[in-house]
């Protein structure tokens, strides 16, 4: 099902770095096969998983189809999209993906700041940004942009994160719900539609 | 969302001013990354708003250079995605070898990283002396740097690794001199390269060529501009000529899809069909 632009449907974007594969697996496992929103997953070190290894790894952990996000393709509900290695991933106003090879942001490409900023612009209050384990500060500014547009921000509890820096940096900048991985799974699985 | 809408209006006005004053049309760029670059340019110039950038452009024509540099993305690497250059070396150059003269167009050449990569490839395959490479970009500042062929020494290691993975027959260091913090490619590599300004958004067929390399440029264009450029490429290629796109770019779902056949799916190399 394609989402029409301007619809109050949610778009969930989850960013993770070191320790991210296990954490992502745990969160995605909680989502049901009929999940009504698209889910975008951005992992910094995804080039450590050549070819479709990461799709397969995460695909085994969850009930939803997992595939790489492609430029110009519309976001569809119930699919987990992976940000390709080496490119920034953005969401356009018409809810289609875009890629760029612009300079690294926060020392990384793909950068969660770039993805979240674009999501804040494209989806406003319907955007959901999630920050998991990671040992850098990417995503904090982007999460702030999502909050500024009335979207939802969720951050993994730094005390249980394998690498707490990324959640900590996010919490320094943005007001967010702080949950453990199991809690994030439950929260996302039961996520209501966006306020109209 | 009111704040966002105001920004959208300022962006629109800026794009119109740029077109009216200087003839550069950015209205058909993919909006999200374009907006990001414009915001970065605003911050770098210390302007208080995007409208402020527009006012500066009105009073200060020389500001154009800085604007174009900020809006273009001359980010590249030598032998980026080495398997692509390996495929060009292994599968495409042997076909080109049958032509008496080889003409290649590299569109969106940034600082020239891929042009010198191509020159080295042709040289090692013994084809360079009968080749001519046209390297074009719409960013004059980038073109000037491309013509210099000077890069930070810190990049040399990645370039050299890419070169070997791309099937390099020697060592990349035989092609450049290291001086201070820079590496400079040999003058002789430039002997058959022509650097020229060309705007894919507004200019026409550049030359008739057997290979077009245009990687990581179409991702910046909206569908309309992408389709225009793809038609331009189709019309610039000889029968059975090759088109090589970026690793995340495709002819699938475009109007020229039927005019090409897929030659190497992984390397995104297409071949002009008879259609
Ligand atoms: C990301 S670089 C690609 C460099 C190289 N081909 C690569 O893949 O590594 C994109 C280049 O496209 C150029 N470009 C953007 N719009 C253009 C246009 N309308 N006409 C010509 N070149 C353009 C930019 O100036 C920039 O140098």
Residue with token string 């690294």:
A104
- Its ipTM equals 0.95
- Are B113 and B78 in contact by the 8 Å Cβ rule? The answer is yes
A65: left (phi over 0), alpha (psi -120 to 50) or beta: beta
Question: What's the CA gap between B177 and A148, in Å, rounded?
Answer: 51
Is residue B119 domain-shared with residue B239, that is, in the same domain? yes
Chain A residues within an 8 Å CB radius of B253: 72
Domain match, B52 and B98 both: no
- Considering just the CA atoms, what is the radius of gyration of chain A in Å? 15
Q: How far is the CA of B202 from the centre of ligand 1 (A)?
A: 14
| pLDDT band per the 50, 70, 90 thresholds, residue A4 | low
Annotated catalytic residue within A44, A46, A117, A118: A44
Task: Say yes or no: B171 and B245 in one domain.
Answer: yes
Q: How many domains does chain B have?
A: 2
* B139: in domain: yes
pLDDT tens track for A96-135: 999 999 999 999 999 999 999 999 999 999 999 999 999 9
Asked if B35 reaches chain A (Cβ–Cβ under 8 Å), the answer is yes
DSSP letters spanning B122-150: HHHTT-GGGEEEEEEES-HHHHHHHHHTE
> From B250, which residue of chain A is nearest by alpha-carbon distance?
A71
Average confidence (pLDDT) per 10 residues, chain B, 275 residues: 78 96 95 96 94 94 92 93 98 98 98 98 98 96 96 96 97 95 96 97 93 98 98 97 98 97 97 79
Q: B26 and B104: one domain?
A: no
Tokens (6 digits) for B252: 């699938």
**Residue ranges around ligand 1 (CB below 6 Å):** A 101; B 72-77, 80, 108, 110, 114, 137-139, 142, 199-201, 215-217, 220, 246
Given a cut of 60, is residue A1 above it in pLDDT?
no
Q: Using the 3D structure, point to which of B71, B90, B113 is the last residue of a domain.
A: B71
Would B77 be classed as within a structural domain? Answer: no
Give, for B233, the enclosing helix (H) or strand (E): helix B223-236
Task: Give the per-residue pLDDT at A6.
Answer: 44
Domain ranges of chain A: 11-189
Residue A50 has pLDDT above 80, yes or no: no
Asked if residue B98 and residue B62 are part of one domain, the reply reads no
End-of-domain residue from the set B71, B99, B120 = B71
Task: Say how far apart CA A5 and CA A190 lie, in whole Å.
Answer: 22
Judge if B49 and B97 occupy the same domain: no
User: Which residues, numbered 165 to 224 in chain B, qualify as contacts with chain A under a Cβ-Cβ cut-off of 8 Å?
Assistant: 216, 219-220, 223
Residue A93, φ and ψ in degrees, nearest 5: -55, -35
The yes or no reply on domain A11-189 and CATH 3.40.50.180 is yes
Q: For residue B223, which residues of chain A lie inside 8 Å, CB to CB? A: 72
Mean pLDDT along residues A13-27: 96
Answer yes or no: is pLDDT of A67 > 80: yes
Residue A79 has pLDDT above 80, yes or no: yes
Which domain covers residue B188, as residue numbers?
82-272
Closest residue by Cα to atom 13, ligand 1, is B108
Q: Are residues B66 and B181 in the same domain?
A: no
Closest Cβ opposite residue A102 in set B73, B248, B253: B73
Nearest CB neighbour to A102, from listed B1, B33, B250: B33
Last residue of a domain, one of B49, B71, B93: B71
């Amino acid at each position: 099902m394609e989402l029409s632009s301007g619809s109050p449907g949610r778009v969930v974007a989850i960013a993770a770095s070191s320790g991210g594969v296990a954490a992502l697996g745990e969160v995605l496992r909680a989502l049901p096969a009929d999940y009504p929103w698209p889910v975008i997953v951005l992992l910094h070190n995804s080039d450590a998983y050549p070819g479709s290894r990461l799709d397969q790894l995460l695909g085994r952990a969850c009930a939803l189809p997992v595939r790489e996000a492609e430029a110009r393709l519309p976001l569809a509900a119930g699919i987990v999209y992976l940000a390709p290695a080496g490119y920034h991933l953005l969401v356009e106003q018409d809810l289609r993906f875009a890629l760029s090879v612009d300079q690294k942001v926060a020392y990384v490409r793909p950068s969660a700041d770039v993805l979240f900023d674009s999501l804040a612009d494209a989806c406003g209050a319907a955007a959901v940004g999630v920050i998991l384990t990671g040992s850098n500060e990417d995503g904090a500014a982007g999460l702030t942009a999502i909050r500024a547009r009335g979207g939802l921000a969720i951050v993994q509890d730094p005390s249980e994160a394998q690498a707490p820096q990324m959640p900590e940096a996010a919490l320094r900048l943005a007001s967010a719900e702080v949950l453990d991985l199991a809690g994030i799974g439950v929260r996302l699985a039961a996520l209501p539609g966006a306020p109209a | 969302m009111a704040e966002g809408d105001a920004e959208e209006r300022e962006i629109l006005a800026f794009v119109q001013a740029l077109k009216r004053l200087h003839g550069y049309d950015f209205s058909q760029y993919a909006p999200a990354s374009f907006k990001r670059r414009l915001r970065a340019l605003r911050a770098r110039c210390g302007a208080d708003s995007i409208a402020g950038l527009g006012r500066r452009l009105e009073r200060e024509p020389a500001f154009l250079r800085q604007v174009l540099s900020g809006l273009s993305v001359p980010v590249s690497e030598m032998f980026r995605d080495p398997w692509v250059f390996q495929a060009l070396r292994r599968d495409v150059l042997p076909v080109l070898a049958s032509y008496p003269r080889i003409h290649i167009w590299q569109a969106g050449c940034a600082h020239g990283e891929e042009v010198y990569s191509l020159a080295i490839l042709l040289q090692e395959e013994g084809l360079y002396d009968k080749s001519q490479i046209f390297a074009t970009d719409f960013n004059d500042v980038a073109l000037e740097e491309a013509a210099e062929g000077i890069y930070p020494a810190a990049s040399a290691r990645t370039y050299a690794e890419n070169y070997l993975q791309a099937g390099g027959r020697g060592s990349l260091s035989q092609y450049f001199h290291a001086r201070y913090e820079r590496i400079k490619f040999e003058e002789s590599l430039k002997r058959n390269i022509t650097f020229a300004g060309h705007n894919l958004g507004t200019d026409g067929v550049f030359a008739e060529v057997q290979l077009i390399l245009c990687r990581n440029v179409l991702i910046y264009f909206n569908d309309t501009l992408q389709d225009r450029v793809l038609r331009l490429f189709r019309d610039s290629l000889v029968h059975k000529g090759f088109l090589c796109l970026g690793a995340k770019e495709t002819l699938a779902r475009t109007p020229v899809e039927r005019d090409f056949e897929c030659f190497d799916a992984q390397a995104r190399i297409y071949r002009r069909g008879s259609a």
